[in-house]
Structure 1
Amino acid sequence: MKKWENRAFGLLDKSLHPVPSELNEIDWKSGLSNKTERLAQHISAFSNIPEGGFLAFGINNDGIPIGISKNQIDEIIQQLGQIARNNLSVTVIIDHIVLLVGDQPVLIVHIPENLAKPVFPRGKTIWDSYTRSAGQTVKMSPNEVKNLIALSQGQTFEEQIALPNQTTETVINLIDFDSYFRLYNRPLPNGNTAIVKTLASDDIVKESENGTWDITNLGAITFARNIVTFKNLSRKAVRVIQYNGTNKLHAIHEIEGKRGYASGFEGLITYIMGLLPTNEVIESALRREFKMYPEVAIREFVANALIHQDFSILGTGVLIEIYTDRIEITNPGVPLVDTNRFIDTPPKSRNESMASLLRRLKICEERGSGVDRAVSQIEAFQLPAAKFERGEDYTRVTLYAHMQLTKMEKDDRIRACYQHCCLLYVSNSTMTNQTVRKRFVIAETNYPMASRIIYETLETGLIKPKDATSTSKKHAAYVPFWA
């Protein structure tokens, strides 16, 4: 089997079911077009996107497999091979397989991602490069071409240019420099030129060769007055949705943030906290209201979602969804560390420059201890343990509202027990039956319930006895599997 076959099968199935829809990674063709120039554009587009893509011959525009003959297959392979060799700025090595969809033969042509990007039709210029967007082959914008060149040369997302050749006055209008100096607790320099030069010291902007300023992706995503101003970043604005219930049927509030992540962070957290339900607690004959979820945890997990997202995944950004029984915080991109090691492992970020800047501004933790503090606060609020989930192309953290132990599922108990064990271990302590009773508010006389939870977690392999040779149950202590 070819290395790319499983990906081709998965994408084809995804494009055909449940509702047929072409994807950025796959394009249906009922047969071979005689438009050589358009075929070259398709190959250019797939060569320029991450992991490349596929042309699927034998599927009509409605997503119905109509099949393709042996003679057609031979002709397509010959003509596409010639175009890939002769009609592009570089030679593209294509490959193919034939598979049955239902009872119809379909030709899948694999066009790999090219290392030297952008790829464009021969006889044209680099500005005539193509990409895939909303399932269509489209010409790249000048900004997209520049960013692709930057990626090909090893530039990070933050170093790439969001808006080139801007005057000092335009930078002042587009970048929230007031928030920048306020967060740093620095006095405002005298004059616009001095302000912009200070921004340049943090790579918010870069001076271009003609004396104007290039606003970097780092500057735009952290301190934009309005992210929509920067076309290529507009979909990276944070969305907050509140639902009436435990599903997505009835949204009662929805807002999309416009400000940069740094300048808008405090407002974002304030907005989220304002939507959260409260619990009423009586202390010393006085009634006090507390938010259902600890602000420390909300701040930490929202900051992590912003910092660790994968900006190369287009068309999506950080999403915060508030239900009556939970909060889900989702960011594009899979985590770079095992979700079971979030508590003890220092975070790894795809966006180190942004992470470093937000740490200097004290928006996120300096030494990777933020998840520890968040989990500790969740325990203090007697909430179920947070769930850390790795999806196909996303990371999700779910915080749950208060739930009685008797209502918890087995997975909830195991997750809470494991995180409790991790938290104690990184605090130079160990988990025991007594600490588990405290975590779950279990009466001392009901110690068998705590023992059962420990045993359930032991069975998963997430924890282990601190002393494997000890036979004492009463004084047994436990550590995480990685200890």
Structure 2
Amino acid sequence: MSLSPIQTLERTRRLIDDLRARTAETSWLEFKENNADGPLIGKLVSALSNAARLADQHFAYLVWGIRDGDHEAAGTTFDPATKREQGQPFEIWLASRLQPGLDFRFEEVEYHGQRLVLLTIPAAATAPVEFDRTGYLRIGSATPRLSDHPERLRALWAKLQPYAWEAGLAAQFLTGDEMLARLDYANYFDLTGQPLPDNRQGIFDRFQADRLIQPDVGGHWNITNLGAILFAKRLSDFGPSIARKAVRFVAYGGAGRADTVTHRQDGQRGYAAGFQGLVDYIDGLLPRNEHIGSAFREERPLYPPIAIRELIANVLIHQDMTITGAGPLIELFSDRMEITNPGAPLVSPDRFLDSPPRSRNEALASLMRRMRLCEEQGTGIDKVLTAVELHQLPPPDFRTEGEAVRVVFFAPRRFAEMTPEERVRACYQHAALKYESGQRMTNASLRDRLGIDPRNASQASVIIRQALDVGLIRPADPEHPRAGYVPFWA
């Protein structure tokens, strides 16, 4: 939620207190009295934004009405609301000359009887910020071109590359009580296996160490996007950018989206706080197959629980958080489950099993692994495919659809009911799984995977030939055809 006008004014005054208390201007802070030169301001915005990223600050600040020498509030006549530059309102003129675009904000503040103007400048996020196609940097009281300092340009790019959505701010200027009211701190300590501290400062220290919160001005706190998305008691407390990333679940009465919706649930809690509840909820809706053991009848879920758990965890940690208005979607049909997450994949879907693990959300993935909500890096898809083969299910379909990744997880079907495409996909996934475990696929192993009677070995041979023809597998040793098969990338 955004701050109320009263809270905003109070935070701004506290912020100015903190800025004035600094013994000298920093690379991301500048004081002016009445200087209203448009091009100079544009160069300063570029320089301060870039300097803030180098200094690991979320924002840079330019304050009019504070004396440079003693930091006393002297007031200013500068008025960005009425100023015009080249016939345009100043803010429009400035915004049009900054690349990438910045959500900068001017505020007029009554401060100890003096009129001040505060310009809040977001730190560079995706590329160095340029004014009129030139990047600048703040060094002491100088504002040189960034290109004149290649070592600082390299350092800036190094800072920009790992900058992630997780480090952004979901809520600002909260008291300790307000912050604890929004985050499920007991769940955090339970999942991370740490004892709950007997004092509030201990909780704050652990949250800060895991980058879930950070100090704000005046003894207040900010909650990062990472903290909100993982441990929010109510995602709606953090506004649309967080709330719309809630996991949605929809169950249909048939095989299509036109069929009756039987169950619907929109997640309310953070991913970590609500993960087990979501998995249990879905598991409770899944149909069961009756299995007759040596002495007892027992019901087994239609889908392997470990596969569902891993697929959901993968969706959460690999989604593109920067796509607005979209979050993970889980849909249950009578014959399949579809799990969709926003964002094009970082690797081709047919290489999910073997490619080195990559994630857009490293801090989120790392913390979820630490809490054992997902498997170690790179092993989740292995466990999904292993469970699928153990239960002789049709092969899951990993596909890209527009700017999203969708996994289709199928209910049990006999070999005779699988499509030719599914049989070939099962062959490829089986060869890949075998190769990853140091083995090779053979006609016999493929028969076991698909439940083909040994007397029908020719059926497996046909599938292998089709997979060879489309280039998904190759002979492990062309000189010895009986040596087995490996995936095309081996």
**Do the structures match in fold with TM over 0.5?**
yes
* Contact 2:447/2:457, CA 8 A, preserved across alignment: yes
The residue identity in structure 1 corresponding to 2:432 is C
Q: Please tell me whether residue 167 in structure 1 is matched to residue 172 in structure 2.
A: no
Structure 2 residue matching 1:328: 3-state secondary structure: strand
Partner Cα separation in structure 1 for residue 439 and residue 350 of structure 2: 19
Q: Please tell me whether residue 373 in structure 1 is matched to residue 383 in structure 2.
A: yes
Q: Please tell me whether residue 316 in structure 1 is matched to residue 321 in structure 2.
A: no
The percent identity for this pair of structures is: 42
* Contact 1:169/1:192, CA 8 A, preserved across alignment: no
1:89 is aligned to: 94
Q: Please tell me whether residue 482 in structure 1 is matched to residue 472 in structure 2.
A: no
Q: How does 1:107-256 map to 2 (within 5 A)?
A: 115-118=99-102, 125-126=105-106, 154=160, 155-231=163-239, 232-249=241-258, 250-256=260-266
Q: How does 1:317-336 map to 2 (within 5 A)?
A: 317-336=327-346
Q: Give 1:222 shift.
A: 0.3
2:65 is aligned to: none
1:384 is aligned to: 394
Pair 1:274–1:147, CA change in 2 (3 A): farther
Partner Cα separation in structure 2 for residue 306 and residue 147 of structure 1: 27
1:63 is aligned to: none
**CA RMSD across the alignment:** 2.3
Structure 2 residue matching 1:382: 3-state secondary structure: coil
Q: Give 1:469 shift.
A: 2.3
Q: Give 1:321 shift.
A: 0.2
Partner Cα separation in structure 2 for residue 411 and residue 198 of structure 1: 50
Pair 1:282–1:392, CA change in 2 (3 A): same
Tell me the TM-score normalized by structure 1: 0.71
Pair 1:147–1:293, CA change in 2 (3 A): farther
1:406 is aligned to: 416
* Contact 2:397/2:407, CA 8 A, preserved across alignment: yes
* Contact 2:95/2:101, CA 8 A, preserved across alignment: no
* Contact 1:224/1:259, CA 8 A, preserved across alignment: yes
* Contact 1:276/1:292, CA 8 A, preserved across alignment: yes
The residue identity in structure 1 corresponding to 2:231 is F
Pair 1:127–1:306, CA change in 2 (3 A): farther
Partner Cα separation in structure 2 for residue 464 and residue 241 of structure 1: 40
Q: Give 1:152 shift.
A: 6.2
Q: How does 1:10-49 map to 2 (within 5 A)?
A: none
Pair 1:447–1:265, CA change in 2 (3 A): same
Aligned match of 2:429 in 419, 424, 432? 419
Pair 1:118–1:244, CA change in 2 (3 A): same
Partner Cα separation in structure 2 for residue 385 and residue 436 of structure 1: 13
159-168 or 366-375, larger mean C-alpha shift: 366-375
Pair 1:433–1:118, CA change in 2 (3 A): same
Q: How does 1:430-449 map to 2 (within 5 A)?
A: 430-449=440-459
Q: Give 1:193 shift.
A: 2.5
Partner Cα separation in structure 1 for residue 122 and residue 329 of structure 2: 25
* Contact 1:174/1:225, CA 8 A, preserved across alignment: yes
Pair 1:337–1:167, CA change in 2 (3 A): same
How many residues are aligned here?
A: 359
Q: Give 1:115 shift.
A: 3.2
Partner Cα separation in structure 2 for residue 119 and residue 307 of structure 1: 27
Deviations 1:180-224 (A, max 9, x none): 000111111012232122111111100123221100000000000
Q: Give 1:82 shift.
A: 9.2
Pair 1:444–1:84, CA change in 2 (3 A): farther
* Contact 1:85/1:91, CA 8 A, preserved across alignment: no
Aligned match of 2:406 in 381, 396, 401? 396
Pair 1:127–1:337, CA change in 2 (3 A): farther
Partner Cα separation in structure 2 for residue 315 and residue 366 of structure 1: 29
Q: Please tell me whether residue 340 in structure 1 is matched to residue 350 in structure 2.
A: yes
Structure 2 residue matching 1:88: 3-state secondary structure: helix
* Contact 2:102/2:122, CA 8 A, preserved across alignment: no
Tell me the TM-score normalized by structure 2: 0.70
Q: Give 1:405 shift.
A: 1.2
Partner Cα separation in structure 2 for residue 436 and residue 327 of structure 1: 25
Larger Rg: 2
Structure 2 residue matching 1:165: 3-state secondary structure: strand
Partner Cα separation in structure 2 for residue 238 and residue 197 of structure 1: 29
Pair 1:283–1:87, CA change in 2 (3 A): closer
| Unaligned segments of structure 2, at least 5 residues | 1-85, 109-119, 129-159
Deviations 1:42-82 (A, max 9, x none): xxxxxxxxxxxxxxxxxxxxxxxxxxxxxxxxxxxxxxx99
Partner Cα separation in structure 2 for residue 422 and residue 82 of structure 1: 64
Partner Cα separation in structure 2 for residue 126 and residue 448 of structure 1: 75
Q: Give 1:158 shift.
A: 0.6
Deviations 1:399-458 (A, max 9, x none): 000111111111100111100000000000000000011001111111000101111111
The residue identity in structure 2 corresponding to 1:89 is L
Q: Give 1:84 shift.
A: 12
Structure 1 segments of 4+ aligned residues over 3 angstroms from their partners: 81-87, 125-128, 145-155
The residue identity in structure 2 corresponding to 1:164 is Q
Partner Cα separation in structure 2 for residue 233 and residue 383 of structure 1: 36
Q: Give 1:307 shift.
A: 0.4
Partner Cα separation in structure 1 for residue 181 and residue 102 of structure 2: 32
The residue identity in structure 2 corresponding to 1:188 is L
Q: Give 1:286 shift.
A: 2.0
* Contact 1:208/1:214, CA 8 A, preserved across alignment: yes
Q: Give 1:90 shift.
A: 4.5
Structure 2 residue matching 1:389: 3-state secondary structure: strand
Q: Give 1:86 shift.
A: 10
Q: Give 1:116 shift.
A: 3.2
Pair 1:146–1:197, CA change in 2 (3 A): farther
The residue identity in structure 1 corresponding to 2:360 is R
Pair 1:218–1:316, CA change in 2 (3 A): same
Structure 2 residue matching 1:280: 3-state secondary structure: strand
Structure 1 residue matching 2:338: 3-state secondary structure: strand
* Contact 2:173/2:217, CA 8 A, preserved across alignment: no
* Contact 2:102/2:121, CA 8 A, preserved across alignment: no
Structure 1 residue matching 2:392: 3-state secondary structure: coil
2:292 is aligned to: 282
Q: Give 1:347 shift.
A: 2.1
Q: Give 1:476 shift.
A: 4.5
| Unaligned segments of structure 1, at least 5 residues | 1-80, 93-113, 129-144
* Contact 1:117/1:152, CA 8 A, preserved across alignment: no
1:270 is aligned to: 280
The residue identity in structure 2 corresponding to 1:479 is V
